[in-house]
Structure 1
Amino acid sequence: MSIETINASTFQSAIREKDVTFVDFVTKWCPPCKVLLPILEELSNEEGDRLSILKVDCDKSPEIAAEFGVMSTPTVIVFRNGEPMDKLIGLRPKGVYQAALARYVE
């Protein structure tokens, strides 16, 4: 499953589509971001009924990155019912993202 890229005009509605949403803040020139993408795609394929995964290109939507204090990429922010709950900075093993999902899914 492909992970949709969102921008400032679609951000607020997109993070409310499911109870739990991971937003991956990336840049095209970031090698760890390229490594993280297949991990998140795999998680999306496994947990797509419980989770929405989206990405924001920080170079194209710097206002969103600034709003949530994203200083480095990749940064994954976990939203629950549209509210930020957790921030995972840097490339992490898949299990870290699975654990974050487990914490916020009812």
Structure 2
Amino acid sequence: MADTPPLKIVQGTALNEQQKKDLLHRLARVEGQLRGVQKLIAKAAVPADCEAVAQQMSAARKALDRSFVTLLTSAVVTHAEKAETTEEAIASTRRLASLLEKFA
């Protein structure tokens, strides 16, 4: 399997470059965990192997959940810093809070 080239980080107002790098790093770790889970499943031979699979699935799920929280907290900080008025900051925070309610 060939390695994929690194993603080009686009400059914008959603997240800053460091926040994007952090999230991409976290997701790469989750991707590695999932590959490990796939290997464990393929090699599972006895009932005890299922416990190892479940443990690794749980770890991957928690890592993905943590990435989600990092995404939203980073967005709150970035949007608040870039808001030109208090009203803009409040509106942005409300939009992000609705994402949290919708997807968390």
TM over 0.5: no
Higher relative contact order (CA 8 A, sep 6+): 1
Question: Going by fraction, where is strand more abundant, 1 or 2?
Answer: 1
TM-score, normalization by structure 2 = 0.24
Higher helix proportion (structure 1 or 2): 2
Higher gyration radius (CA):
2
